[in-house]
């Protein structure tokens, strides 16, 4: 379950589609093929952005947009419903070269929240916008509005009903269900990290949050340093039970271990996922990461994580379960 790719690329993209995977027994061959096709398309979009002269930010946005547009992942279309039966989405992005970042939380009518997060980073004086204010800013940027109903799927409606039934119809109180009771309801998120030809790193993450989450709940995804981090040293995008990622500032913890202890990227991600996070709550998350030397890490302490990477040869590598990709 380490999920490490143990590869090195000159430039490229690594992605995740969340640790909330279906078990092999529940995954039909057709559905598995659909997930793998979406992951490959995401990698190809990120790779294409780099091939066309784009930078790492362009690559992570392109990769995440594909996953947001797919109904299979808990981000954009296919996002989870909150306890009211409303879909609210969060996203963030960070550029490693200068530490610039942008984030949005609680948006309901923006097709690609990651694009809005990028606009916050590049076209506002702020780092995070939320709710109606974020939606208003999206309109000033000419971003494509969509009816909130477009994001919903039958699968997510069923997951909401199950989440409410487990609580006897009560509003969500954090911690009233075991973290492993339904990992697909808590851990779905998508993200990407990229290294471009100039050596710049970037990371982006997007989510619909927990199934049946409390109205107004925000997890780690839009929190810089918790769900997303990028610096000249490394880029990290996380997936899992967000409250614990926030407590541990988990994405930044990878950077901190590398900077303060001299740990390699591989050593750092294993320490934060298998030691720090697992000690707080077992089987609860994962991440994808890249360092400035092109080392790729896809690490998780759960049964699986939708994931993949692509290097300079343009060949996408994707996986769901097992020990990792190669």
List the catalytic residue out of 88, 108, 184, 189: 189
DSSP β-ladder status, 128-130 and 190-195: unpaired
CA angle 58-290-313, nearest 5°?
70
Counting DSSP H helices and E strands in the chain, the numbers are: 10, 13
Q: Quick one: which of 77, 82, 140, 157 has its CA closest to 109?
A: 77
| HSE of 43, CA atoms in CB hemisphere, 13 A | 27
Alpha-carbon span 309 to 192, nearest angstrom: 9
Write the CB contacts of 298 (distance below 8 Å, at least 6 apart in sequence). Answer: 3, 4, 5, 14, 16, 286, 287, 288, 289, 305, 307, 309, 324, 325
CB 212 within 8 A of CB 160: yes
Active-site residue 189, yes or no? yes
Which residues are part of the catalytic machinery?
189
């Amino acid at each position: 379950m380490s999920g490490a790719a143990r590869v090195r690329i000159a430039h490229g993209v690594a992605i995740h589609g969340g640790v909330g995977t279906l078990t092999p027994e529940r995954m039909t061959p057709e559905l598995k093929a659909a997930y793998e096709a979406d992951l490959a398309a995401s990698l190809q979009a990120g790779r294409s952005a780099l091939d066309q002269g784009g930078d790492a930010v362009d690559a992570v946005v392109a990769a995440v947009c594909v996953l947001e547009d797919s109904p299979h992942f808990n981000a954009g279309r296919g996002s989870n419903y909150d306890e009211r039966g409303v879909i609210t989405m969060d996203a963030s992005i960070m550029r490693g070269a200068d530490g610039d970042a942008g984030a949005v939380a609680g948006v309901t009518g923006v097709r690609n929240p990651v694009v809005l997060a990028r606009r916050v980073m590049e076209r506002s004086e702020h780092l995070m916008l939320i709710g109606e204010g974020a939606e208003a800013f999206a309109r000033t940027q000419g971003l494509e509005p969509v009816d909130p109903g477009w994001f919903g799927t039958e699968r997510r409606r069923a997951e909401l009903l199950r989440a409410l039934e487990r609580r006897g119809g009560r509003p969500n109180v954090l911690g009233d269900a075991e973290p492993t009771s339904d990992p697909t309801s808590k851990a779905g998120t998508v993200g990407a990290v990229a290294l471009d030809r100039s050596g710049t790193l970037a990371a982006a993450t997007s989510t619909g949050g927990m199934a049946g989450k409390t109205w107004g709940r925000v997890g780690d995804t839009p929190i810089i340093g918790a769900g997303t981090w990028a610096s000249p040293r490394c880029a990290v995008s996380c997936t899992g039970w967000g409250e614990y990622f926030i407590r541990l500032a988990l994405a930044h913890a990878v950077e901190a271990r590398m900077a303060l202890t001299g740990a390699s990227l591989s050593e750092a991600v294993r320490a934060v996922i298998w030691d720090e996070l697992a000690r707080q709550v077992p089987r609860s998350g994962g991440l994808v990461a890249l360092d400035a030397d092109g080392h790729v890490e896809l690490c998780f302490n759960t049964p699986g994580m939708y994931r993949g990477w692509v290097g300079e040869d343009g060949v996408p590598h994707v996986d769901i379960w097992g020990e990792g990709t190669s």
